[in-house]
């Protein structure tokens, strides 16, 4: 009986890992590859019909570094030929053109996949910190950083390749150099909304089912988008989702203790630096370069900077939080003054973070190249070297995280925007 169940489980996993399942889902959603006929037949990919008028997909491409849709269309006016999103300048992977037959799903799942990318985190964490609830934002950053570390480390240990193309269409290629199991997009896309829900439920006044529905919808959108993009199999997405629920079950009860230690611990700065850098170094065991090492160091650097800022703010009496007597919190009435102040805080703060990141990159990378005797005319190659990439990511993003939690709120006080 146990052997039979084990056999069925293995068969189910094999089915969910099959790239043809991803290809069928993409075809159902209106994504068709432009593989050569022979390659398509060999890999059992859907055959394409190129008849009918062709036209250009209007508007710019979606996503950071996305190519605009470029020219020829397919069977009808709703079909367009497009290029992969977020092409990776470090790997030179530009992908292959494909046909989009359902533009609504294309934009929907592009938005979903952006919920797991760097630019979203630069927007989301500061917005919650500056305009909603600093405590919630600080603790979500903790979960995000350690959740990503566990996910990326697991990828590098399991070392499963991305779904084969063909038959899968690579709608995005930015993360194609990484290993695939589990989906860290699915992990962050589950950790952030569910952690947000668990931290605000009871602390803020809103219907329980509304919060749960938003968290579940957010997570499902991100998870499904990774299959649509051709970056993960169904099994990898499901594993990422379940893996994160396990991590949250362990980490969520510890968040108050961790946050309190960051504020008041006598050796908090030393522990923060040692844990964030030390665990990162242990985890980085790549056999070849990929974006996973930099993304993990980036998250750990941001988490370290935010944690150090929490300690500094508390020691200086600058840490903002709502008094316990005011809980549960009610949403303030919407007014023009509130909207204007929130928008100004967000725009000023993000501008400071982007300038900080740009300035730190401009200083750190050339400095590290000089230290290690590397030519400055090949920054792309230098950034792939561990001795440059790790300190660069840690330094730049720890400063960004510190600025977000400590420097920008202080600037708001000076500008009368607090």
What's the rounded mean pLDDT across residues 51-78?
A: 39
The answer on pLDDT for 30 being more than 70 is yes
| Cβ pair 335, 367 in contact under 8 A | no
What value does the CA radius of gyration of the chain take, rounded to a whole number of Å? 23
How sure is the predictor about 283, in pLDDT bands with cuts at 50, 70 and 90?
low
* pLDDT score of 163: 87
185 is catalytic: yes
Count of CB atoms situated within 10 Å of the CB of 216:
14
How sure is the predictor about 388, in pLDDT bands with cuts at 50, 70 and 90?
confident
Nearest to 303 by CA among 192, 138, 130, 152: 138
Residues of the chain above pLDDT 90, percent: 36
Pick the range with the lowest mean pLDDT from 52-61, 97-106, 244-253: 52-61
| Cβ pair 107, 83 in contact under 8 A | no
DSSP percent split of the chain into helix, strand, coil, nearest 5: 65, 5, 35
How sure is the predictor about 8, in pLDDT bands with cuts at 50, 70 and 90?
confident
Distance, CA of 396 to CA of 368 (rounded, Å): 12
**Which DSSP state fits 407?**
I
| Cβ pair 292, 156 in contact under 8 A | yes
Distance, CA of 63 to CA of 123 (rounded, Å): 14
* pLDDT score of 195: 94
Write out pLDDT tens, residues 161-203: 888 878 888 888 777 777 888 998 999 999 999 999 999 998 8
Count of CB atoms situated within 10 Å of the CB of 193:
23
How sure is the predictor about 35, in pLDDT bands with cuts at 50, 70 and 90?
low
How sure is the predictor about 416, in pLDDT bands with cuts at 50, 70 and 90?
confident
> What HEC string does 216-281 produce?
HHHHHHHHHHHHHCCCCCHHHHHHHHHHHHHHHHHHHHHHHHHHHHHHHCCCHHHHHHHHHHHHHH
The answer on pLDDT for 47 being more than 60 is no
Pick the residue with more confidence: 2 or 303? Answer: 303
Write out pLDDT tens, residues 334-356: 888 889 999 999 999 999 999 99
DSSP code string of 121-134 = HHHHHHHIIIII-H
**Catalytic residue (one of 50, 232, 276, 372):** 232
**Which DSSP state fits 172?**
B
* pLDDT score of 287: 53
* pLDDT score of 71: 39
**Catalytic residue (one of 50, 185, 276, 372):** 185
From residue 320, give the alpha-carbon distance in Å to each of 337, 339, 409, 413. 21, 20, 9, 12
Write out pLDDT tens, residues 394-406: 999 999 999 999 9
The answer on pLDDT for 67 being more than 50 is no
Pick the range with the lowest mean pLDDT from 91-100, 120-129, 253-262: 91-100
What ranges do the domains of the chain cover? Answer: 114-414
* pLDDT score of 95: 60
The answer on pLDDT for 61 being more than 80 is no
User: If DSSP codes are grouped into helix, strand and coil, which group holds residue 409?
Assistant: helix
**Which DSSP state fits 292?**
H
* 337 CB-contact burial (10 Å; exposed 0-12 / middle 13-18 / buried 19+): exposed
Distance, CA of 243 to CA of 152 (rounded, Å): 12
* pLDDT score of 237: 94
276 is catalytic: no
Residues 6+ apart with CB under 8 A from 119: 64
Write out pLDDT tens, residues 192-228: 999 999 999 988 888 999 999 999 999 999 999 999 9
How sure is the predictor about 52, in pLDDT bands with cuts at 50, 70 and 90?
very low
* pLDDT score of 60: 34
Residues shown for the chain: 418
Distance, CA of 148 to CA of 300 (rounded, Å): 9
Residues 6+ apart with CB under 8 A from 211: 197, 200, 201
Distance, CA of 216 to CA of 193 (rounded, Å): 8
User: If DSSP codes are grouped into helix, strand and coil, which group holds residue 180?
Assistant: coil
Write out pLDDT tens, residues 132-158: 889 999 999 999 999 988 888 888 888
* pLDDT score of 83: 62
* pLDDT score of 2: 63
| Cβ pair 89, 18 in contact under 8 A | no
* pLDDT score of 152: 86
What's the rounded mean pLDDT across residues 227-248?
A: 92
């Amino acid at each position: 009986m146990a052997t039979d169940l084990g056999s069925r489980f293995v068969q189910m996993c094999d089915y969910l890992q099959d790239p043809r399942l991803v290809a069928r889902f993409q075809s159902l959603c209106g994504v068709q590859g432009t593989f050569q006929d022979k390659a398509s037949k060999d890999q059992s990919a859907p055959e394409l019909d190129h008849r009918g008028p062709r036209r250009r997909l209007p508007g710019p491409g979606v996503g950071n570094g996305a190519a605009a849709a470029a020219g020829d269309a397919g069977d009808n006016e709703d079909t367009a030929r497009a290029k992969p999103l977020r092409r990776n300048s470090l790997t030179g992977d530009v992908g292959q053109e494909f046909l989009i037959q359902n533009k609504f799903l294309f934009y929907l799942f592009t938005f979903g996949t952006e919920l797991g990318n760097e630019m979203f985190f630069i927007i989301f964490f500061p917005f919650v910190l500056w305009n909603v609830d600093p405590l919630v934002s600080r603790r979500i950053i903790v979960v995000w950083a350690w959740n990503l570390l566990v996910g990326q480390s697991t990828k590098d240990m399991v070392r499963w390749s991305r779904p084969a193309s063909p038959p899968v269409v690579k709608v995005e290629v930015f993360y194609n150099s990484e290993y695939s199991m589990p989906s860290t997009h699915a992990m962050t896309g589950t950790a952030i909304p569910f952690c947000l829900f668990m931290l605000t439920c009871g602390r803020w006044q809103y219907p329980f089912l509304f919060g749960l529905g938003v968290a579940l919808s957010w997570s499902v959108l991100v998870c499904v988008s990774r299959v649509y993009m051709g970056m993960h199999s169904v099994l990898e997405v499901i594993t990422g989702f379940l893996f994160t629920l396990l991590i949250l079950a362990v980490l969520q009860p510890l968040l108050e203790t961790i946050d309190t230690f960051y504020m008041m611990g006598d050796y908090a700065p030393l522990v923060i630096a040692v844990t964030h850098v030390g665990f990162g170094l242990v985890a980085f065991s790549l056999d070849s370069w990929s974006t996973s090492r930099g993304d993990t160091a980036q998250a750990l650097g941001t988490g370290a900077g935010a944690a150090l800022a929490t300690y500094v703010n508390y020691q200086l009496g600058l840490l903002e939080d709502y008094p316990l007597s005011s809980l549960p919190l009610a949403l303030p009435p919407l007014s023009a003054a509130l909207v204007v102040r929130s928008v100004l805080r967000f725009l000023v703060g993000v501008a400071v973070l982007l300038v900080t990141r740009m300035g730190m990159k401009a200083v750190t990378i050339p400095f590290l190249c000089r230290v290690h005797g590397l030519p400055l005319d090949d920054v792309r190659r230098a950034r792939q070297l561990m001795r440059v990439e790790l300190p660069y990511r840690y330094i730049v993003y720890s400063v960004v995280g510190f600025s977000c939690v400590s420097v920008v709120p202080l600037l708001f006080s000076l500008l009368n925007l607090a």
